[in-house]
Amino acid sequence: MKPSIAKVITFKLKRPLVQPLAKCASVLTTCVLISHAALANEKAILVLDASGSMWGQIDGHSKVEIARNTIAEMTKHWPSETQIGLVAYGHRRKGDCDDIETLIAPAALNREVFLDQVNRLNAKGKTPLSASVRQAAEQLKFTEDKATVILVSDGEETCDLDPCQVGQELSQLGVDFTAHVVGFDIEKPEQQAQLRCLAENTGGRYFNARDGEELGAALNAAVQVTTSAPPPAKARLMAVEKGSITQEIVVEWEGPADSGDYITVVSPEADERAYLDYDGHLKAGVPARFKLPPTPGNYELRYVSPIRDTSVLARRAIEVAEQSISVRAPSEVMAGTKVSIEAFGPAGNDHWIGFAEAGSDAHSYVGSYYARPQSEHSQIELSVPGMPGEYEIRYVLNENQAIAASSPITVKPATATLQAPQQAMAGDRILVKSQGPVGGRHWVGFADAGSVPENYVGGCYERPKNEHAQLHINVPTRTGTFELRYVLNEYEAVIASQMIEVTEPEASITVPESTVLGQTIKVQYEGPLGEGHWIAVVPMGEDYNNYSQWAYVNPQGEWNMPSPETAGEYDLVFIFVDADSGGRELSRASFVVSETP
């Protein structure tokens, strides 16, 4: 008896579903439709990523929402003769690599029940991608029956398993286990290699997808190749014989344009399914467009069909020539300041000019200290990292493929000074005079004494706008010993600090003993004058929550208060607000309001 074929479809969305297939009804739906004819008389399991990253936004829609809409459309076309199950992970607990659950065992589709389970998922946890594939394979008894996995992943395995090793183990233990892998929006070569290894260790195919159209094509191709590879085909490529590094070229072509086909440029010795930049949106009559490599040399244009046993259907040699690229920067600069860079080279949003640690590889960079060259001659002002050390200003091509030029630069320690009182009342506001580097991410404020640079007291800091600044800063509402700090780039380095003792708050209120209806009463007060504290008017002796009028305290310590609307005896109450109590009374003063003088 011929064993049944079990399929596992692992599903994770990361980027906007743009440029839908010609037959797609909408961006959020049919781009992941599978060739269901290939699944007839089989069992399938949908493994759905419900990790916390699924709350990320894509064109105003959360990835959770996009997944729900896509699955709803997919199930409209699911063949009645094909059983389907549902596995989800990361939907119940944060930080738990064991949070994997079979929600529906393979059975005839009950669309209402299936979608109800999908819509109940609450993305919150980690991404145990490899363990989820293993669990689904075990549910389908892969050691007894033939089993095929179709995995779609952005490569962000966040648990301890190695997808490459898991593929090898499943292949060795299974009767006939195969994993076809779709890498979705994966830029890092090491992540691509890991998923390619998972596929190749099981005799499967690897597909790459950068957007919704490519994802839909790759899924269809992966399903098609699980049944049987199509017969050999021919293709033809027409393009220039020579170009320069990173140049965008146009390639005329003829070929089958099946799902998953692409045209790329690689070294002539590269593996059949290797690629650098490529075009996977192949449509008859539409030329392919992509960029040449960032390193000069002899390359090969290829038409690749991953679903065929002989993948490369056409080849064409192309020479990639050098281009003059340089960067000019000062040899030294102070941490946390600005530096002017002059650069010559190709423009585009795939390239960047910025800081990297000296001697690091092409994939290394420092935070957000970079800019995109918008012309072949760029004048760029960059923020300087807050940590002193040896760096390079680099011109990097095609994101992280090659360092085209670099200039060494030493970041020297920054200096700063602070002048502030040695003691302050909790919840007050103090004047701090500072001198130091200026930047939109630097701050002067309070932190717990002896804490790490990342520590700060919420609401108790200001950003210096000038090299010499006068800052009015809220004092913490907690008592104790604190540090007033000058911090570069949010938390990279503390370049100046001063200890401040925060004492218990005290307050007093001065108000005329009597007034008449309709008059304005001048109220003066002393005490903590930071943000959030307030003055309330209440009937004499009553709780401050029974107020009839109120106002926040201000640095002037004054309130021109309208008299209450009715005659009587009243109290003014100074309310101190902190995180622990929410509010407590510090002082009270009484006055009388009469109808006539």
The CATH number given to whatever domain includes residue 441 is: 2.60.40.1930
Instruction: Say whether pLDDT at 161 is over 80.
Output: yes
Least confident of 335-344, 392-401, 405-414, 561-570: 392-401
Residues 431, 563: Cα–Cα separation, whole Å: 33
Looking at the structure, do residues 68 and 171 belong to the same domain, yes or no? yes
Q: What is the pLDDT of residue 325?
A: 95
Residues 395, 351: Cα–Cα separation, whole Å: 7
Looking at the structure, do residues 14 and 156 belong to the same domain, yes or no? yes
| pLDDT category of residue 18 using cuts at 50, 70 and 90 | very low
Residues 180-190 have a mean pLDDT of: 75
Looking at the structure, do residues 183 and 136 belong to the same domain, yes or no? yes
**Domain with 528 in it: what CATH number?**
2.20.130.20
Residue of 270, 258, 209, 255 whose CA lies nearest to 229: 258
Instruction: Say whether pLDDT at 162 is over 50.
Output: yes
Between the CA atoms of 363, 367, 369 and 373, what dihedral angle is there, to the nearest 10 degrees?
Answer: 40
Write down which residue in 202, 227, 252 finishes a domain. Answer: 227
Looking at the structure, do residues 305 and 403 belong to the same domain, yes or no? no
Residues 430, 454: Cα–Cα separation, whole Å: 22
Q: What is the pLDDT of residue 157?
A: 77
Write the pLDDT tens digit of every residue in 32-90: 444 444 444 566 777 787 777 777 665 676 767 766 776 777 677 666 777 778 888 88
Residues 365-373 have a mean pLDDT of: 92
Q: What is the pLDDT of residue 79?
A: 67
Tally of structural domains, the chain: 5
| 1 falls within a domain | no
Looking at the structure, do residues 289 and 355 belong to the same domain, yes or no? no
Residues 333-359 have a mean pLDDT of: 94
Looking at the structure, do residues 487 and 344 belong to the same domain, yes or no? no
> Residue 220: left if φ>0, alpha if ψ -120 to 50, beta else—which one?
alpha
Residues 195, 338: Cα–Cα separation, whole Å: 41
289-319 per-residue burial string, b: 16 or more CB within 10 A, e: under 16: ebbbbbbeeebbbbbbbbbbeebbbbebebe
Q: What is the pLDDT of residue 155?
A: 66
Residue of 39, 407, 89, 426 whose CA lies nearest to 226: 39
Looking at the structure, do residues 497 and 515 belong to the same domain, yes or no? no
Least confident of 18-27, 39-48, 479-488, 557-566: 18-27
Residues of the domain holding 335: 326-412
Looking at the structure, do residues 296 and 343 belong to the same domain, yes or no? no
Looking at the structure, do residues 381 and 454 belong to the same domain, yes or no? no
**pTM of the predicted structure, to 2 decimals:** 0.65
Residues 177-203 have a mean pLDDT of: 80
| pLDDT category of residue 274 using cuts at 50, 70 and 90 | confident
Q: What is the pLDDT of residue 562?
A: 94
Write the pLDDT tens digit of every residue in 459-501: 999 999 999 999 999 999 999 999 999 999 999 999 999 999 9
Q: What is the pLDDT of residue 216?
A: 63
Q: What is the pLDDT of residue 96?
A: 92
DSSP secondary structure, 181-238, as one string: EEEES---HHHHHHHHHHHHTTT--EEEESSHHHHHHHHHHHHHHHH-PPPP---EEE
> Given the structure tokens 């590269």, which residue do they identify?
270
Residue 68, CA distances (Å) to 29, 82, 442, 492 in order: 9, 20, 42, 40
Looking at the structure, do residues 311 and 454 belong to the same domain, yes or no? no
Choice between 562 and 32, residue whose per-residue pLDDT is larger: 562
Look over the chain and give the mean of its residue pLDDT values, rounded to a whole number. Answer: 85
